[in-house]
Amino acid sequence: MQILNVEEKYNNKKISTYLLNKFPLLKRNTLFKALRKKDIRLNNVRINDDVEIHTGDEIKVFITDNLLYLNNIALDIIFEDDNILVINKPVGIEVTNITNNGISLTSLCKEYINGFVKPCHRLDRNTEGLVLFAKNEQALNILLDKFKNKEIEKHYIATVYGIPKKKQERLEAYLFKDTKKSLVYISDEFKKGYQKIITSYRIISENKENNTCILDINLETGRTHQIRAHLAHIGFPIIGDGKYGINEVNKKFHQKYQMLTSYKLKFNFSTDSSFLEYLDKKEIYLNQKTK
């Protein structure tokens, strides 16, 4: 059994919206089956409808943990050697923050390595794809510097609503992070508290029939929610993005999570890389597995 208390941002929302957000791995049919069986209680009252909830309500969920969480997850190792580990992160798990099921991608890597392992960058909880880990302190310091100096490219694939006129473009803007609301805001002009962001895209394919296209995106800066917010800001939201996207569009395409995947890491070293020199010019792809 899970006991939850409704936060203010979910006031007047449907209980299904709340629970599907809280448990990204929970399937809709499993949730509504639990409602029909009255396996969910609202303020200690068994309910069988998708009712509206309010701030401070207590919800008890009688659904087995294996249907709610990423239990017994097996790491999808894309590449590994003595110094680095590259993992394909699934949707629904944080890179570092421990989620409700008591795990993070980092904690799973620590169990696997049984020693030093730390992430060199992050992905949003509901973004899937490649995450680079260092397996020793020296490698971590070098790789963090490489990211800072833009000597490691991070490429993403995103499916967006709308088709940009330009086939490729390097976008510059400014981003402000509102920690309390867990949101970021984009401005074309510099403002106090805003940080510069650079997002480049290239159209891979387009579908004029449903007004969508697939973009290859390269980040020169790696701010929170940068890709999602920046693309939405220029009028091309990622399909499935519940925070910066368009709800009607997400429903039309039946997408619960943002269609965004980190699919390639490219090492372009231009400064001293010490014992990691062998990684220079190396490219690691999502569909590649080397160990």
pLDDT in tens, 184-196: 999 999 999 999 9
Cβ-proximal residues to 5 (8 Å cutoff; 6+ apart), any chain: 56, 57, 58, 59
Rounded to 5 degrees, what angle do the CA atoms 147, 148, 149 make?
A: 90
Q: Is 124 an annotated catalytic residue?
A: yes
User: In CATH, what number is assigned to the domain containing residue 213?
Assistant: 3.30.2350.10
User: In CATH, what number is assigned to the domain containing residue 106?
Assistant: 3.30.70.580
pTM of the model: 0.75
What tokens appear for 249 in the block?
């569009």
Residue 161 falls inside a structural domain: yes
Residue matched to tokens 């976008």: 171
Nearest-angstrom CA–CA distance, 284 and 266? 6
Helix residue ranges per DSSP H, 90-167? 105-113, 137-148
Among the listed residues 125, 133, 132, the one whose alpha carbon sits nearest the alpha carbon of residue 90 = 125
Nearest-angstrom CA–CA distance, 147 and 222? 9
H or E element, residue 233:
helix 226-233
Residue 255 falls inside a structural domain: yes
Per DSSP (E only), the strands in the chain are 2-5, 40-42, 45-47, 58-61, 77-80, 84-89, 118-119, 128-134, 152-161, 168-178, 183-187, 195-207, 212-219, 260-267, 283-285
Residue 280 falls inside a structural domain: no
Average pLDDT rounded to a whole number, residues 256-284: 96
Is 74 a residue whose pLDDT tops 80?
no
Task: Give long-range contacts, CB 8 A cutoff, 24+ apart: 170-173.
Answer: 170/198, 170/199, 170/200, 171/198, 171/199, 171/200, 171/201, 171/230, 171/234, 172/196, 172/197, 172/198, 173/197, 173/199, 173/230, 173/233
Largest CA distance in the chain: 64
Nearest-angstrom CA–CA distance, 145 and 94? 23
Nearest-angstrom CA–CA distance, 119 and 265? 14
131/184 same-domain check: no
Is 111 a residue whose pLDDT tops 90?
no
**How does DSSP assign 28-63, residue by residue?**
HHHHHHHHHTT-EEETTEEE-S--B--TT-EEEE-S
Tell me the residue type at 237: P
Residue matched to tokens 């990423």: 70
Residue 276 falls inside a structural domain: no
Per-residue model confidence (pLDDT) at position 2: 86
Residue 236 falls inside a structural domain: yes
- Average pLDDT taken over every residue of the chain: 92
Nearest-angstrom CA–CA distance, 291 and 287? 13
Report the DSSP beta bridge partners of residue 85. 80, 133
What tokens appear for 222 in the block?
């790696």
Residue 278 falls inside a structural domain: no
Structural contact between residues 253 and 142, judged by C-beta atoms closer than 8 angstroms: no
92/56 same-domain check: no
135/161 same-domain check: no
Residue 209 falls inside a structural domain: yes
83/32 same-domain check: no
- Residues 16-65: tens digit of each pLDDT: 999 988 887 788 888 999 999 999 999 999 999 999 999 999 999 998 87
Is 112 a residue whose pLDDT tops 70?
yes
Owning domain of residue 41:
2-68
Question: Which one of 39, 57, 124, 280 is the catalytic residue?
Answer: 124
Nearest-angstrom CA–CA distance, 119 and 130? 11
Is 290 a residue whose pLDDT tops 70?
no
- Residues 78-105: tens digit of each pLDDT: 999 999 999 999 988 889 986 655 678 9
